[in-house]
């Protein structure tokens, strides 16, 4: 009994329950409002914020809702942070991550950080207490990357990565933001290989030219995929991904068009994919992903636009025996793995850098 009580009370402090203002008793991510008080507890860390990186689904929603009006988007983000004590888009339920410099470290923090460390948070902004002091004055409201002055709080069970010296910080931040995707893709490819060593799996990545998509393609190949296809929605992305050479094939399809998506993957691989990785931030891709996947295969949903019921009922309705994974942003070693992929592959690095410049 003792151990479980210890577990519960240490969990309560480690996950930041004391920062929850309303409703009481829920974890910070589920809370409507957090307390961003700059005074830290013994196991907390305070970070001086430099830049927020909004989740793609969140930024898209804000842009759509405010018709690309940068001033209105900035005002809305500022309003959310002020009201909620965190950057947690109430419509999409998603957040993003941040970059900053460690300011103060509590004596009991287990994160291994020291004042002056430049870090990126690898836990979502939806559970990170945050206060902004500059009114986001340096942001034009037209990019996911938000220059920002203020502070954020890390808990004992937060995850943060020190920024590498050898990569552009903006590139590193973009990679770290989605580093769970390549790590989980690599794990699932390895699991399929262990189960059937004589038949390496084929892998389809929907949204293969995006950040998480291109990293997932690189991870699938490195982990031993037999053949990979990246599916993209435009000829520009098709040409860009083909030029980078990250996938064995590149196919053009609107991922929301169920039959078109299944046909594109099946044509490129000669059969449905053993593993399908969904990295596009638009709703309605669940059925196409299921239909593009072979019986006994696996679909990994990384898009925050994924509908749980659409996936569950879609697979059932298609009598599809596929394993469907909710993409977990945390896999041990994910940050180092993703950064190493970028270091090792100049084409991947160029693709990601080009995306950053275009943003």
Question: What is the per-residue binding string for a second copy in 38-77, x denoting contact by CB under 8 A?
Answer: ----------------------------------------
The nearest distance, CB 194 to a second copy, in angstroms, is: 9
Indicate which single residue of 47, 219, 220, 320 sits in contact with a second copy (rule: CB under 8 A): 320
Indicate which single residue of 53, 61, 124, 145 sits in contact with a second copy (rule: CB under 8 A): 124
Helix residue ranges, H only, the chain: 2-14, 56-65, 70-84, 169-177, 180-195, 211-222, 235-244, 258-269, 286-291, 308-317, 334-344, 346-358
Indicate which single residue of 324, 339, 341, 342 sits in contact with a second copy (rule: CB under 8 A): 324
312 contributes a contact to a second copy by CB under 8 A: yes
From 36-44, 120-128, 203-211, 242-250, span contacting a second copy (CB under 8 A): 120-128
Indicate which single residue of 53, 61, 92, 228 sits in contact with a second copy (rule: CB under 8 A): 92
How far, CA to CA in Å, does 348 sit from each of 55, 299, 354, 355? 21, 23, 10, 11
173 contributes a contact to a second copy by CB under 8 A: no
Indicate which single residue of 330, 343, 346, 350 sits in contact with a second copy (rule: CB under 8 A): 330
CB neighbourhood size of 101 (10 A)? 14
Indicate which single residue of 75, 193, 318, 356 sits in contact with a second copy (rule: CB under 8 A): 318
How far, CA to CA in Å, does 253 sit from each of 93, 185, 208, 267, 352? 27, 21, 11, 12, 21
354 contributes a contact to a second copy by CB under 8 A: no
CA atoms within 13 A on the CB side of 319: 0
The nearest distance, CB 2 to a second copy, in angstroms, is: 10
3-class SS of residue 318: coil
> In the window 271-300, what residues touch a second copy (CB under 8 A)?
271-272, 284, 287, 291
What token pair was written down for 228? 């990979």
Sign of the CA dihedral with 54 first, then 55, 60, and 61 last: negative
The nearest distance, CB 7 to a second copy, in angstroms, is: 6
- Give whichever of 187 and 349 is closer to a second copy, judged by the CB atom: 187
From 71-79, 132-140, 239-247, 327-335, span contacting a second copy (CB under 8 A): 327-335
How far, CA to CA in Å, does 222 sit from each of 182, 236, 265, 339? 10, 25, 20, 14
The nearest distance, CB 244 to a second copy, in angstroms, is: 25
15 contributes a contact to a second copy by CB under 8 A: yes
Contacts of 9 (CB under 8 A, 6+ apart): none
């Amino acid at each position: 009994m003792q151990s479980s009580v210890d577990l519960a009370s240490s969990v309560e402090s480690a996950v930041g329950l004391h920062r929850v203002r309303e409703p009481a008793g829920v974890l910070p991510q589920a809370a409507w409002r957090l307390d961003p008080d700059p005074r830290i507890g013994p196991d907390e860390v305070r970070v001086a914020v430099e830049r927020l990186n909004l989740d793609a689904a969140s930024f898209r929603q804000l842009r759509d809702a405010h018709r690309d009006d940068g001033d209105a988007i900035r005002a809305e983000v500022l309003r959310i942070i002020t009201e909620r004590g965190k950057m947690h888009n109430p419509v999409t339920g998603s957040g993003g991550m941040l970059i900053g410099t460690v300011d103060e470290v509590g004596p009991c923090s287990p994160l291994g950080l020291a004042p002056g460390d430049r870090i990126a948070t690898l836990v979502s902004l939806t559970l990170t207490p945050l206060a902004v002091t500059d009114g986001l004055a340096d942001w034009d409201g037209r990019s996911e990357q938000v220059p920002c002055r203020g502070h954020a709080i890390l808990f004992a069970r937060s995850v943060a990565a020190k920024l590498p010296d050898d990569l552009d910080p903006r590139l590193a931040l973009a990679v770290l933001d989605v580093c769970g995707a390549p790590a989980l893709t690599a794990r699932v490819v390895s699991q399929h290989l262990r189960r059937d060593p004589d038949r390496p799996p084929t892998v389809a990545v929907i949204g293969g030219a995006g950040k998480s998509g291109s990293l997932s393609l690189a991870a699938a190949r490195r982990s031993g995929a037999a053949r990979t296809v990246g599916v993209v929605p435009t000829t520009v992305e098709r040409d860009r991904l083909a030029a980078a050479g990250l996938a064995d094939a590149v196919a053009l399809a609107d991922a929301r068009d169920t039959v078109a998506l299944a046909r594109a993957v099946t044509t490129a691989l000669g059969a449905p994919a053993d593993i399908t990785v969904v990295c596009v931030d638009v709703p309605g891709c669940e059925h196409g992903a299921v239909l593009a996947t072979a019986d006994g295969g696996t679909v990994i949903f990384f898009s925050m636009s994924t509908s749980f019921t659409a996936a569950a009922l879609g697979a059932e309705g298609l009598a599809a025996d596929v394993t469907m994974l909710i993409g977990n942003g945390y896999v041990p070693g994910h940050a180092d793995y993703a950064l190493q992929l970028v270091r090792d592959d100049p084409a991947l690095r160029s693709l990601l850098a080009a995306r950053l410049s275009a943003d």
